[in-house]
Structure 1
Amino acid sequence: MLARLLKHCLTQQRTYSLLHHKMKILDMEKFGGEVTIGATVATGFEFTAVDEITKKLDVVDYDITQGKVFFTATSECFAKIHQLRSVDKLFLVVKRYENYVYDVTKEVELERIGSVAFELPWEQVEKYWSENRPFCIKMNKFQKHKLRERKKKRRQLNLGGCGGEDKEDSDLEVWEKSMDVNFRVTCNRVGKKQSVTSPEAEYKFGGYVQDATGWNVNLSCYNLEVLLEIGVDSLMVALSLTPFSLHHRNIEYFGRTTLRSTIAYNMLMLCKLKVGEVVVDPMCGTGSIPLEGAMEWKGCLHVGGDNSGAAMERVFGNVGVNNGGLGVNGGKGDNLGGTEEKSDFEVNDDTRDNSGVNEGENGNLGVNNEKKSKLKYPVEVVRWDATRLPWRDSTVDVCVTDLPFGKRMGSQHDNRVLYPRFLHELARVSKVGVSRACLLTYDRRSALNSFSKLHKLWSLKRTVNVNIGGLRAAVYLLGRTKHEFVIGEDFNLEEKKKKVQKNGTKNKKISEKFEKLDI
């Protein structure tokens, strides 16, 4: 059974890798015409990003490379482009050189790359930057903190110290309001066969860009970023449309293993949610998955739970901040679920009651009706044990969760016990023949062993190999089979039978050997 599952995973991954739609990447020619927009995506989720782009932007031509999606659009689409939820960063292609041959001499190649700056339409680039500027001025708390840290490090390197916080805050205000160009060049090199390195290319190309445009250089507090990509056989210059990655958009209170909002959205996309469905994240952590679901699929009920008190506090903080402060003790998100004051969300005890989910006085999942009506993105939050869920049988439509990898959280030894117990309990609360489960994990062996044990209750529909912070993880889409859940059924029964048969065969062979030796 396990071998069949592994073969299924490899076959599906090979099939999806062939579904690439080729398009011609357009260079920037004149302002207002069609241009090529690029988007970076978590490796493995390119096809879900294409699904969102084609639906929201009515795009026909697109191209997929590893970790990137290219499509054609105009400046009028910038507002819609910034509303995409499956992509991390956006950029506008200025010029792309295909079949580019790099010179073996470093000095010659640096001059060639630098001379490219005088061939590019920088006036058009500045016009597109001005059109895009209103959509990326507003920063959340996390992004402002990152910008302060960046400036602080730069001052420490250059001056041996750093300015006060008041000076940093005034710089942020200038950054948000100023329309003067302060730029930097960021280079990304693919492979190591080129004769130049990324820092060398950044330095040389940035100097030539300043000579060609007269823009100010600011490496820490910049508002225009020029991207230079040194590929294996290509060279690309692009304009960044997002100063910060979009995967930080909902989360301000981070945990040890916070899931990116973009990955959470892509996982929800795989499940093809329908209006009226109950979507549950039994191990929600900081609440990335239920928050993304509540923002995009408002017709569904989104419930998140965890067995950690610290995780519950972070969920309250993130839900509260995204709802304008409502839901976190009536504050603005600074007080993370303290116990002294009454919270809009009530954390239920870690108990299991087969009669249904622990309900408050108003019949809600831990949220007062009065406060719930005010929430822009309502998320139900309950504290529970994922192996003893407080749900009635056959009540959950979809489960989307990020399982413990066994790295920073838990261990692979614990996963061998946790995964099958969780899936067994999830089969009880899921609707027979209808429910879906989308699970992200790095511990593939424990996951596949669990699927093998519970093949009567769950069938593997799809496997997506993804890159999570450099780890080769996998997303498994499971479907609930029509096999009825039986209370007290031992899901390890078949495995135990195999072990007994194996031990019986082994003991028989040992006995035969002893008989031959007349012992």
Structure 2
Amino acid sequence: MSSQGEDTEGQGPETALPSSSCTDCDTTGGDVITVTVGATVPTGFEHTAAEEVKEKIGVDARISKDRGRIYFPITTDKLFQVHLLRSVDNLFVVVQEYEHYQFSESKEETLIDLQQLASKLPWTNALEVWKLNSTLKKKKGHRRGGNGSKGKPNSEAHDATAVDNEQQELPQASPTAEGQSDVEPTAQTDTCSQDVEEATPEAKVIKFRVTCSRAGDKHSFSSNEAARDFGGAVQEFFEWKADMTKFDIEVLLNIHNNEVVIGIALTEESLHRRNISHFGPTTLRSTLCYGMLRLCKPQASDIILDPMCGTGAIPLEGAIEFHNSFYIAGDNNDMAVNRTVNNICHIQKRRADKGSASGLPIDTVQWDLCNLPIRTSSVDIIITDMPFGKRMGSRKKNWDLYPSCLREMARVSRPGSGKAVLLTQDKKCFAKAISRMGGLWRKLHTVWVNVGGLHAGVYLLKRTGALFGQTPEDVYESRGPVERQEKDDTELS
């Protein structure tokens, strides 16, 4: 039975890397080719990631229907630039993409189609990019452990797949790593990394594994079955050896309803771990921190405050990427402050070892976040991860904590220009606390994200010109006509 979907050219297997034609990739001259690179990003921040791609690489990125992914073209002479992106978790080169893959009705026919698809895909350019990518990587030790998938849920999603692995030293090229996907909540989600039957052991045979991420409630098969059958066909076609832990190549099979994308991973481990060496119970992903920072657009000489810093993920990301601002990281927990200090020292040592300037524009303090030792109206931006009442704090305490800390944040922020970017899953409590601020904060924008499987909001607030001690009537009168109309419209709705 022939595979369904778009037609691709067939190939014959070779002992090492295959040769084939790629209808989606153009040879632009010499050894320079153009390929499509996919990236998994924090859900809700797809547009932020697309903006960064346009800014740093100069190409337009396409946002996938499957939330948490973007795709963009890249020439191989600029491949190193994709590793400089700060908003992406994982990178992979696209082998083939089917926007409307027609699955057979029966499970048996569908799995046969997937088996036959493996030999019809245009692998050549993707594998050349994988080989080139290895020259950009430092060789490190083998991946350790089987590492189950850690899904990155989105605002409407369950976990799908994210394979977290240590870096691996390859016999001929450096490794690739995890693939992630975010899927809709109404869709049945099923993820697996399947070890298929091993080929006859050979000294120089490339090792691989297939990671399948599936989202959709109309599939007759599971991701485990898809990975098993597709992986078996890949193994037979290339004569590679399957290995779940010490693999050289990770083939990604991403299925979202009728959209099917086959790719080869380019990252050894998720880029969101780049800054943190000492983790806490609620450490934010560095990629999510970057998205939050871009929301508030830090300017040179801005004073940026994180009053509940945890492990310091937000101020660390800011101090590295937006280093013309100054960051103050504080927490009421001494263990959190110690973790932040250790993470700062880790980054400083790493920079010093590379011969870079080791200093960072960041300082740490232990304090009571409802009574900050900071001068009134002296902070330009406040950005923090507020306690959800799950792993940290409690929902009951949040009803007292949120109003108190929002009022203190308003005190230290510059009236009229101060901004705050606040992350919380306790949306009801947060909305009530904002309404009790007497007009000190105005909500500008909300980005819905998933954090550890929880549907959370990233709120961009602006500090109004209201002063402490004013009545709500005084605040209303102090507003301009546009702000008054917005307030009236809100109350009417």
- TM-superposed deviation, 1:173: 9.0
1:233 maps to 258
Tell me the C-alpha RMSD between the 2 structures. 2.8
TM-score by length of 2: 0.76
1:148 aligns with 2:144: yes
TM-score by length of 1: 0.72
1:104 maps to a residue whose letter is E
- TM-superposed deviation, 1:33: 2.7
Mapped contact 1:28–1:121 kept (Cα < 8 A) = no
Q: How far does the alpha carbon of each residue in 1:381-440 deviate from its partner, in whole angstroms, 9 at most, with x for none? A: 111111111111111000000000011101111111111111111111111101100000
Q: Structure 1 residue aligned with 2:467, among 471, 481, 484?
A: 484
1:59 maps to 59
Q: 1:150 to 1:99 in 2, by over 3 A?
A: closer
Q: Which moved more, 1:176-185 or 1:401-410?
A: 176-185
Distance of 1:64 and 1:237 partners within structure 2 = 14
- TM-superposed deviation, 1:90: 1.1
Distance of 1:86 and 1:244 partners within structure 2 = 14
2:237 maps to 212
Q: 1:234 to 1:318 in 2, by over 3 A?
A: same
Distance of 2:55 and 2:211 partners within structure 1 = 31
Q: 1:178 to 1:152 in 2, by over 3 A?
A: farther
Q: 1:437 to 1:408 in 2, by over 3 A?
A: same
Distance of 2:23 and 2:55 partners within structure 1 = 22
Distance of 2:388 and 2:235 partners within structure 1 = 46
Mapped contact 1:26–1:36 kept (Cα < 8 A) = no
1:201 aligns with 2:226: yes
Q: Within 5 Å, give how 1:77-476 maps onto structure 2.
A: 77-137=78-138, 147-150=143-146, 175=169, 178-179=172-173, 181-324=206-349, 375-476=358-459
- Which is richer in strand? 2
- TM-superposed deviation, 1:443: 0.2
Q: How far does the alpha carbon of each residue in 1:452-486 deviate from its partner, in whole angstroms, 9 at most, with x for none? A: 11142111111111111221100110001011234
1:27 aligns with 2:10: no
- TM-superposed deviation, 1:121: 2.9
Q: Which moved more, 1:316-325 or 1:299-308?
A: 316-325
Q: Which ranges of structure 2 fall in alignment gaps of 5 or more residues?
A: 1-21, 150-165, 174-203, 476-493
1:513 maps to none
2:415 maps to a residue whose letter is V
- TM-superposed deviation, 1:325: 6.5
- TM-superposed deviation, 1:243: 2.4
2:169 maps to a residue whose letter is W
1:436 maps to a residue whose letter is K
Q: How far does the alpha carbon of each residue in 1:86-106 deviate from its partner, in whole angstroms, 9 at most, with x for none? A: 111111111112321211222
1:15 maps to none
1:297 maps to a residue whose letter is F
1:411 maps to a residue whose letter is S
Q: 1:436 to 1:229 in 2, by over 3 A?
A: same
Q: How far does the alpha carbon of each residue in 1:479-505 deviate from its partner, in whole angstroms, 9 at most, with x for none? A: 01011234xx799xx9xxxxxxxxxxx
SS in 2 for 1:33: strand
Q: 1:151 to 1:403 in 2, by over 3 A?
A: closer
Q: How far does the alpha carbon of each residue in 1:342-375 deviate from its partner, in whole angstroms, 9 at most, with x for none? A: xxxxxxxxxxxxxxxxxxxxxxxxxxxxxxx963
Distance of 2:411 and 2:277 partners within structure 1 = 34
Q: 1:304 to 1:26 in 2, by over 3 A?
A: farther
Q: Within 5 Å, give how 1:36-47 maps onto structure 2.
A: 36-47=36-47
Q: 1:138 to 1:458 in 2, by over 3 A?
A: farther
1:6 maps to none
Distance of 1:275 and 1:442 partners within structure 2 = 31
SS in 2 for 1:319: helix
SS in 2 for 1:82: helix
1:255 maps to a residue whose letter is G
Q: Which moved more, 1:389-398 or 1:115-124?
A: 115-124
Q: 1:193 to 1:173 in 2, by over 3 A?
A: closer
- Which is richer in helix? 1
Distance of 1:425 and 1:26 partners within structure 2 = 59
Mapped contact 1:137–1:176 kept (Cα < 8 A) = no
1:98 maps to a residue whose letter is E
Q: 1:202 to 1:315 in 2, by over 3 A?
A: same
Distance of 1:325 and 1:95 partners within structure 2 = 38
Distance of 1:138 and 1:69 partners within structure 2 = 28
SS in 2 for 1:129: helix
Q: Which ranges of structure 1 fall in alignment gaps of 5 or more residues?
A: 1-24, 154-171, 333-372, 495-519
- TM-superposed deviation, 1:285: 0.2
SS in 2 for 1:111: helix
Q: 1:74 to 1:43 in 2, by over 3 A?
A: same
- TM-superposed deviation, 1:48: 1.0
1:290 maps to a residue whose letter is P
Distance of 2:329 and 2:228 partners within structure 1 = 47
1:60 maps to a residue whose letter is D
Mapped contact 1:96–1:237 kept (Cα < 8 A) = yes
Mapped contact 1:82–1:135 kept (Cα < 8 A) = no
Q: How far does the alpha carbon of each residue in 1:108-143 deviate from its partner, in whole angstroms, 9 at most, with x for none? A: 11111111111123333321111111334466xxxx
SS in 2 for 1:321: helix
- TM-superposed deviation, 1:32: 3.1
Mapped contact 2:94–2:126 kept (Cα < 8 A) = no
Distance of 2:170 and 2:333 partners within structure 1 = 38
Mapped contact 1:28–1:93 kept (Cα < 8 A) = no
Q: 1:26 to 1:324 in 2, by over 3 A?
A: farther
Distance of 2:127 and 2:393 partners within structure 1 = 49
1:307 maps to a residue whose letter is N
1:41 maps to a residue whose letter is V
Q: 1:308 to 1:151 in 2, by over 3 A?
A: closer
1:75 maps to a residue whose letter is T
Determine what percentage of the aligned residue pairs are the same residue.
41
